[in-house]
Amino acid sequence: MRVKVVFHGSYREVTGFKEKYFQLPENANLLDLLKKLESLYGRELTGQLIDYKKNEIWSLMAIAVNGKILSNINKFNCPLNENDEIIFLPPALGG
Amino acid sequence: MHSSYGGQIAVVDLSNLDYQISETPEDLRKNFLGGNGFGAKLLYENLSPGIDPLSSENVLIFALGPATGTLIPSSSRYGVFAKSPLTGLFFDSYCGGTWGEQLKRAGFDALVIKGASKEPVSLVIENQKISFKHTKNLWGLNTLEAQRQLNKELGEGFTIAAIGPAGENLVRYAAIISETRAAGRGGMGAVMGSKMLKAIAVKGTGDIYVADSKRFMDYIKELQIRIKQHPGTGNTLPNFGTSVGASSFNDLGILGSYNWQKETFDGAYKISGQYMYEERIYQKTKACLNCSIRCSKVAKAKKGIFKDFATEGPEYETVFSFGSLCGNDEIGSIIAADRVCDELGLDTITAGAVLAFVMECYDKEILPNHLFEEVKKYNITFGNLSNIDTILEMIAFRKGIGDFLAEGTQKMAEDLGKEALDICTAVKGLEVPGHTARGLKGMGLGYAVSNRGGSHMDTRPTVERSGQYDPFEIKGKGSLMKENQNMTTIGDSLIICRYTEGIFGFFINDDFVKIANLTTGFNYSLEELKQIGERIYTLERMFNVREGIDRNKDVLPHRFLNEPISDGPRKGHLITVKELNFMLDEYYTARGWDKETGIPTDETLDRLGLLEIKERKGNYAS
């Protein structure tokens, strides 16, 4: 299946893409996508989201799947579907 | 034992050009911590209810926190407090740079400024020496010119907080500017102008101590590592600045645009920090004193009619207010607006919101003829800020339509009638900033009950936008937002910048206890610090209750309660009156305020040590 990934901030710096489609196996979940991105771009990319020392998501960092913001690694086993949009968000700072 | 307090408070009487200095009372330090706490206590006690905010009876307070001027990152800040001419309520506004550190080095924790001078005057503080300088020559100068001229006259080493023409002409959202940083919101600059106080120049050469220097330095080293490691503070903010959120908020459908008629904006990328970084519009990075986050940028317009305009900024709120909110994706005009607002001494959020409001009024033809013609003449229409420098100058000098715009959206809407009130997005008179209420329900509650009105600094949008709490859930938001407000209150009392949320979090925790204890030496427990936050916030509420605020005034703009988001991923969302009432019930219960009236109960005041203050100073307008 094909999913669309949108990169903001540092993520865009690392990948060089504003958005890109990725092929994933059927029944893949968000963690599968993250593993794929890690294999392609290294932890320079996924380390912006995951604190690997603690195996948890950095505070204020999150991914949105079809507009729903997820910031708990336990929720990353959510299944993905064809044409889902995954947004790598910059830190939720502001003001 | 040392502490990081300056140690003294100066009470300045501008009517008689006189002052008194006294030691900062121990109970004030212990029970109200600093900054926000000092402002709330001193304002409640020194100001009579019901006074005109632009009269000599208003009191203007500058206060520092125990963290101000220390090596705690992002802490070189000062707070300004007064009854706001925009809201008529308690107001606090904060500013970075180096002015706060200088005042601390001069040996002060707060300046309490009363009365009004008959002629333009500036206050000069050189360590323990306070003097008044007649500065008629500065009146009329913009904030940057005034700082330069006063520095020239006083000699090296002074840092200056000044007002521009907007403050002098009592624009209700005039800011106070030091260097190029602003205590922007709530019209503190207008209060300063009403006192004919053009500037406060400070030079301090004393040392700043902390209570436990060995443990303090160890903690600083730890914080520097945490800041560097966190992707937000160590990477995104230093590279992209605070405006980075504009395009991602748009992707989520929570970027207010066209006066909040929509929450997506086609031009979002072109006003974002991402764009300014990639197109090399950012010229360099700057930082407040001792802050390793370095979120500040200097931007320069590269094309268009504002080519070569440069500014320190624009921050996220400014790209929102002059950008998406005005339907404008021309970054040069936003850079120009930011620069001109700094020079004239205007709050960028309210200034942009006022224009967006007028743009919609123009589209809907709800302006009287003479205003309609002026809007047409200066082309104040969605997507067009080609005359922004002229329009802002008209506001600051109250010329033509500028006199009307200088009042802020709430007063403008009240003048224009019901149709205008329905599209006015101010809460308690303060225009909401670039954080959705309809797309983050807890933030909606936060706006409704904020002591400042439509502010994102009492309640934080980050709590829900980070995904750590469900933005669509209403249950539990009352107590959640209460705890978050107590954190912002302690943060503003210490005083540390909100951009530390990535490392300190959303609630009072051991980091806040550590900062408080290592600087003050008071050895607070976590529970004691939480109670101080609650005490200060409740005292602010008492101030507002004294001015007539109750549950009936804790409301949201008509648009957010009645018009669902019209577009984008959050299409259809809004906060219903029923949902707001549910959250209000929870919130008042969590705070120990009466659920029917929203007024703190005597039992709560007693628990927080505030009952005596209420009995002495009164809880209701006379």
Domain edges within chain A: 2-89
Interface of A with B in 51-70 (CB under 8 A): 58-62, 64, 66-67, 69-70
pLDDT on residue B622: 35
- What sign has the CA pseudo-torsion B424, B427, B433, B434? negative
Q: Which one of A59, A74, A87 would you mutate to disrupt binding with B, by most B Cβ within 10 Å of its Cβ?
A: A59
Q: How far apart are CA B49 and CA B58, in angstroms?
A: 10
B476 band by pLDDT with thresholds 50, 70 and 90: very high
A contacts of B253 (beta carbons < 8 Å): 67
- Tell me if chain B has a CB within 8 Å of the CB of A87: yes
CB-based contact B85:B98 (threshold 8 Å): no
Tell me if A49 and B435 make a contact (CB, 8 A cut-off).
no
B619 band by pLDDT with thresholds 50, 70 and 90: low
- Whose CA is closest to B158, among B136, B134, B179, B188? B179
Residue B182, beta-bridge partner list: B177
pLDDT value at B101 more than 90: yes
Average pLDDT estimate for B421-440: 98
User: What is the interface size between A and B, counted as CB pairs within 8 Å?
Assistant: 118
* Secondary-structure percent of chain A, ordered helix, strand, coil, rounded to 5: 30, 30, 40
Give the one of A64, A90, A93 whose C-beta lies nearest to B462's C-beta: A93
A contacts of B462 (beta carbons < 8 Å): 60, 92-94
Give the one of A10, A72, A89 whose C-beta lies nearest to B235's C-beta: A10
Give the one of B253, B274, B435 whose C-beta lies nearest to A95's C-beta: B435
- Whose CA is closest to B6, among B64, B84, B87? B64
- Whose CA is closest to B79, among B103, B98, B61, B97? B61
DSSP H or E segment with residue B64 = strand B60-64
pLDDT on residue B234: 92
Q: Which of B60-74, B211-225, B281-295, B437-451 has the lowest mean pLDDT?
A: B281-295
Give the one of A60, A71, A94 whose C-beta lies nearest to B316's C-beta: A94
pLDDT value at B615 more than 90: no
Q: How far apart are CA B78 and CA B93, in angstroms?
A: 9
Alpha helices in A2-73 (DSSP H): 9-15, 30-41, 43-46
- Tell me if chain B has a CB within 8 Å of the CB of A16: no
Distance, in angstroms, between A13 CA and closest chain B CA?
9
Distance, in angstroms, between A27 CA and closest chain B CA?
24
pLDDT on residue B1: 75
A contacts of B238 (beta carbons < 8 Å): none
CB atoms within 10 A of CB B55: 13
Tell me if B244 and A8 make a contact (CB, 8 A cut-off).
yes
Average pLDDT of every residue of chain B: 96
B contacts of A48 (beta carbons < 8 Å): 231, 235
pLDDT in tens, B41-69: 999 999 999 999 999 999 999 999 999 99
The three-class DSSP label of residue B18 is: strand
Average pLDDT estimate for B511-536: 98
CB-based contact B396:B169 (threshold 8 Å): yes
Strands of B310-312's sheet, edge to edge?
B282-286, B296-300, B310-312
CATH number of A2-89, picked from 3.40.50.880, 3.10.20.30, 3.10.180.10, 3.20.20.70: 3.10.20.30
Distance, in angstroms, between B347 CA and closest chain A CA?
13
Rounded (10°) angle between helices B35-46 and B477-494: 90
CB-based contact B450:B492 (threshold 8 Å): no
Give the one of B248, B433, B457 whose C-beta lies nearest to A90's C-beta: B248
Average pLDDT estimate for B301-328: 97
Half-sphere exposure of A31 (CA within 13 A, CB side): 10
Tell me if B237 and A48 make a contact (CB, 8 A cut-off).
no
Cα angle B548, B94, B180; round to 5: 135
Give the one of B236, B434, B456 whose C-beta lies nearest to A91's C-beta: B236
Cis peptide before B495 (omega within 30 of 0): yes
- What sign has the CA pseudo-torsion B40, B41, B47, B51? positive
A95 band by pLDDT with thresholds 50, 70 and 90: low
Per DSSP bridges, beta strands B8-13 and B108-114 are parallel
Return the percentage of chain B with pLDDT > 70, whole number. Answer: 99
CB atoms within 10 A of CB A82: 9
- Tell me if chain B has a CB within 8 Å of the CB of A41: no
Q: How far apart are CA B124 and CA B222, in angstroms?
A: 38
